[in-house]
Structure 1
Amino acid sequence: MRNPLSKTIVTIQPSGIRKFFDIVNEMEDAISLGVGEPDFDTPWHIRDEGIYSLEKGRTFYTSNAGLKELKIEIAKYLFRNYDLQYDYQHEIIVTVGGSEAIDIAMRAMLDPGDEVLIPMPSYVSYLPCAVLANGVPVPINLKAENDFRLTAEELEAAITPKTKLLVMPFPNNPTGAIMEKKDLEAVAEVVKKHDLFVISDEIYSALTYTEKHISIASLPGMKERTIVINGFSKSHAMTGWRLGYACGPRIILDQMLKIHQYAIMCAPTTSQYAAVDALRAGDEDVQRMREEYNGRRRYLMHRFEEMGLECFEPYGAFYCFPCIKEFGMTSEEFATNLLKTEKVAVVPGTAFGDCGEGFIRISYAYSLDNLKEALDRMEHYITGLRGGNNGEA
């Protein structure tokens, strides 16, 4: 029998995040700090709008690019928060989460052999999406001593004549790193110099703690060469609603829309109506959740300091990325043994790229009570390691 499988898809590894999530689901009394999902319920007024849309029988397809009302609200939201101006008719597409937007952007922009620069460690989807779009992913290994920010020098060194696209994953998953305006300006100059395009994944843009997020697309000369990806999962606690959006130049969006038409048709109608209300009346919800995340972030940094566990301070998203190199174990070994001995799940840094070796990702999208219990167990674990215990059950 002929092999039914694509050679390309067989080479792609499953997500390293889901592996530990699946184990935890089968383990009694385990605490997971591994999944990047808000522990807040979707605010009631947003759920109510979704319910109302069903009661009114709004169960039909929307236009391929999304509800007109939603695209108008997205345009207003981006302008008032990030000084970005987009034509809702031609420069915004509503997608099934930010992940679909990343996928169709790469498929619309890449020809076979085009190189995609991916700062790493970063979200697990960028590399496989580049491969599936026939591109060649080129990792740029970010450094803890630079607070995991992308520098202009690192970008310049990675560019070749085949480079076409740069992924900007900030605020960053898994590190929590952000890019300040001066960092973005330096990167933008290199992008323009080499005539590159950018996919700026800004799904965590509402969750920054020391300064307001700045989009690279807002800088001079960058809007016309940038696709901005955003959505509702992280900011409005709407992960299961599966709703995101892409904004950018019409010449690119028109081609993305063709892929979206054939593969998806349109994003979920109920979710779109709920998202209209999220943007019109949800700013206070976002602020409340951001303040809660910030309190958890500060708690984790305090506990790490007490434990003597090295961790650079994250200023965005809801992740910490502590260093575990002192224990002489791989990230996979550390996370596996922590789960076995203390029933606490974290994600090995290598799930986000090889340069994540020596680190683990901890999500603080969990209640403070869960975080306290999990950190107590982790402290017990690393105290044993420092005392000569190898951490195994």
Structure 2
Amino acid sequence: MDELRMINFLDAFITNALSIIIPLLLVSRGLDVVQIGLIVSMSPIVFVVSRSIFAAISDQVGVRRFFILNGAMNVVSLAVYLVASNPLLFSLGKMFEGVRNGAIWAVNRTAIFLSKGRKGAVVEMSTTQAIRTGAAAMGIVMAGLLLNSYSFDAVLVFFMLLGVVLFSISFLVEGKRKSKIKMKEIFGQLDFRKRSELLKKTSLIMMPFSVATAVPLSLAFPLFLRDIGYSYWLIGLAIALYYTISAVTTFLFMKMKWGKRATWLGGVLFLAGGILLPFLGGWWAIPLMVIMGVGDGVSTPLWETLVFNSTRSSKDVSSDIALVHIPPNLAQAVCLITAGVLVKLWGYWLVFGLCGVSFVISFYFSFELLRESRYRL
């Protein structure tokens, strides 16, 4: 389990550093918000496809080789960004990022599920998510610091070297299951129509949940902060504080066993922060993003509960976990493109407001679904 935490730490460190480096690099190359939204949307599209295929295969051959693939794709995507000179190559880099994310998330929860069981998996995965969130904050701060002093190319080389370290550590993951890949079984495992009504409902509820945080973190936050005059260092600091507060909140939520009321309070805080952020801006941006981070933090255990509850009777855990994430990730891709258009036409206020509303709505339907499925919170 320790090697899984190390892998998750490094993967989140690199992944989230890139989430601010690449949009800012694209801005420096003269691309507008619509073009950037289109490029960034490539990652979740490829992620959906690759994760589903990898998950079905992993149910037959085990998880180890997909952690190795994740490490390799971290290096490859960074190498592509180093040589990229046009939007097409940047889109290719985002596609490799999609494969990278697909590889780790095809097996991440499964490795924990098989080790801890359903009840223990919720706690361990929430802990792992907190580790990833803390690592994300550190990676973003590091990116901001380095960009203040060095060129984009030098910063990309630094993170590529970290990718090599991650690739090396991934070989420590144990592999137990060995069998030949049976394509007929894979297609059966990926047939969404044959899945339970609970899984289908969960995947729909997770759509607004996913979009509400993905759009700000992948697009709106770095571009908005840049537009209001924040330096690379301050952009990194602001987004890192969001992640740090989110991680601390998740940890406290699990430790103190806060309940449903605390979760609802987090939802309201996220909504309030999203509505106020584009109007107040300036130095208010940082405390308002911190408030949104609190809301994001209390949502993590709820998200993991939804995932494991939807797959509680599953025979093919990896496949079903991947399938339940397909609609949310497709929604991310569509909304990243849409958000770029909305920002260009009407400004950031509409995008942040819609994200806040989506976040709160997802809480309501999540609790209703868990009540219907008789899950004890």
TM-score (norm 2): 0.28
Q: Which structure has more helix as a fraction of its residues?
A: 2
TM-score where L is the length of structure 1: 0.28
